[in-house]
Chain A
């Protein structure tokens, strides 16, 4: 039987090399609708070939294998320590096996640790829940796309955006316009409304475990997602910023209660190489899903 740490390694391998089927399907649809002979068509063709090749050869989809973020859900009373130890071991081992590039740099000394470990690297976020099984969710988040994320504080005078959903939409449109192709478009846009500066971004990050094309449980937000997807794509930025019909793959929005004095809108941009994977441990059995 494989040890827990080896399952963590397999989780990283799958996330880095095997693009989730919902993302690949959406990219394929985007390829189909572009006109022949356009740079956009050529980009999607290359992307799809890369995705197939990475899966077949078990090599990273992108050489920027991102930051390693674990979101771990544990039943009441279960200890965190074995998961932390396994998660760190797996990050080191995955670097050695070339599933990950060494991406942890000490900002003070400028030194790269060489194995993706360090303070908050890999990053762990634990939640206790009342279910009887464990879920380990992994997000490998590329640096270029992280750079184009923005947090807004409403009201925003420059955008003429007020403290309402109309104001929120303006923030999202502004963020995607400013990102152009730099975040490796087409991106998946995740928006966190409310909370404080930290929880606002966190809400958006956690929502990246939704599947492309999934419905929002809140009908108002669901309608906003559809409307924004259409408007963002109408900007015509296209894959890599070359122009085209698909600028974003999907838009996810979540909201949480805010302090009366604050109104944050956090926009997280995930590159087309949307690397997420979930491991479920139930009755000693381990399974993986995207």
Chain B
């Protein structure tokens, strides 16, 4: 199914999504990687709360250009999500996050958070840095830039038609687990030849 969604997204809308749905996202989202997740998990800062409520976190360490006082996204594909597995479930529930975008998928702990607090995992296309950057319309704000550096800062961005695919839904389904098990059958045949 192809769906257009505007952020903020309600819990009801998110719970309707299924694995395999192609979603086009528009609205405000926040980039967060390892340092940002550690901070949200340990200190639960309030400065980011208004952007995350019914909002979306994007696992991304962008290439950014500064033109005068303005920041511009040059290349901004997803980074590997599994590094945030220790934190994500708590972050989702604490901040009422409705979606997490990244690549490679996540595991049981995050899945539990998706089910319990009403969120999904969106997969962006790894490597598609230029295309995704072109869907970033403007940088609204940035937090912890000095302290964390460019890739690790919280970038609050407005996006339009950001293309993603649901690979973990709020009902407990994961495309990653499904493909792993399917490919394992062929692998076992091939390896025992």
Q: Which residues of A contact B163 (CB under 8 A)?
A: 42, 46
Which one, B63, B65, B125, contacts A43 given CB within 8 A? B125
Q: Does A273 contact B (CB under 8 A)?
A: yes
Q: Does A177 contact B (CB under 8 A)?
A: yes
Residues B104 and A241 in contact, CB atoms below 8 Å apart: yes
Which one, A144, A180, A184, A273, contacts B179 given CB within 8 A? A180
* 9-residue interface stretch from B6-14, B89-97, B111-119, B185-193: B185-193
Residues B130 and A144 in contact, CB atoms below 8 Å apart: no
Residues B179 and A53 in contact, CB atoms below 8 Å apart: no
A40 nearest CB neighbor, chain B only: B165
Interface string of A56-68 (1 = CB under 8 A from B): 0101111111000
Q: Which of B17-37 contact A (CB under 8 A)?
A: 20, 22
Q: Which residues of B contact A63 (CB under 8 A)?
A: 60-63, 74-77, 129, 133
Q: Which residues of A contact B74 (CB under 8 A)?
A: 59-60, 63, 98
Distance (whole angstroms) from the CB of B168 to the closest CB of chain A: 12
Residues A61 and B191 in contact, CB atoms below 8 Å apart: no
**Which DSSP category, helix, strand, loop or mixed, fits chain B's interface?**
mixed
Q: Which of A257-290 contact B (CB under 8 A)?
A: 271-273
B192 nearest CB neighbor, chain A only: A160
Q: Which residues of A contact B4 (CB under 8 A)?
A: none
**Which DSSP category, helix, strand, loop or mixed, fits chain A's interface?**
loop
Which one, A49, A53, A240, A272, contacts B103 given CB within 8 A? A240
Q: Which residues of A contact B167 (CB under 8 A)?
A: 39, 242
Q: Does B50 contact A (CB under 8 A)?
A: no
Which one, B79, B104, B130, contacts A60 given CB within 8 A? B130
Q: Does B86 contact A (CB under 8 A)?
A: no
Which one, A112, A235, A238, A242, contacts B123 given CB within 8 A? A242
Q: Does A47 contact B (CB under 8 A)?
A: yes
Distance (whole angstroms) from the CB of B33 to the closest CB of chain A: 12
Q: Does B80 contact A (CB under 8 A)?
A: yes
Q: Which of B64-100 contact A (CB under 8 A)?
A: 65, 74-77, 79-80
Say which size band chain A's interface belongs to: 35 or more
Residues A60 and B63 in contact, CB atoms below 8 Å apart: yes
Known: A39-B20, A64-B77. A53 touches B130 (CB 8 A): yes
Residues A271 and B75 in contact, CB atoms below 8 Å apart: no
Which one, A59, A144, A160, A235, contacts B75 given CB within 8 A? A59
Known: A144-B126, A241-B176, A243-B175. A182 touches B104 (CB 8 A): yes
Distance (whole angstroms) from the CB of B155 to the closest CB of chain A: 13
Q: Does A181 contact B (CB under 8 A)?
A: yes
Known: A177-B184, A235-B187. A61 touches B179 (CB 8 A): no
Residues A170 and B179 in contact, CB atoms below 8 Å apart: no
Residues A61 and B104 in contact, CB atoms below 8 Å apart: no
Distance of A238 Cα from B34 Cα, bound (Å) = 28
Residues A182 and B175 in contact, CB atoms below 8 Å apart: no
Residues A184 and B127 in contact, CB atoms below 8 Å apart: yes
Q: Does A165 contact B (CB under 8 A)?
A: no
Distance of A182 Cα from B175 Cα, bound (Å) = 14
Distance (whole angstroms) from the CB of A161 to the closest CB of chain B: 8
Q: Point out residues on A near B: beta carbons under 8 Å.
A: 39, 42-43, 46-47, 49-50, 53-54, 57, 59-65, 98, 101, 112, 142, 144, 159-160, 170, 173-174, 177, 180-182, 184, 231, 234-238, 240-243, 271-273
Pick the 6 closest A-B CB pairs, nearest first.
A63-B75, A50-B131, A63-B129, A50-B128, A54-B130, A184-B126
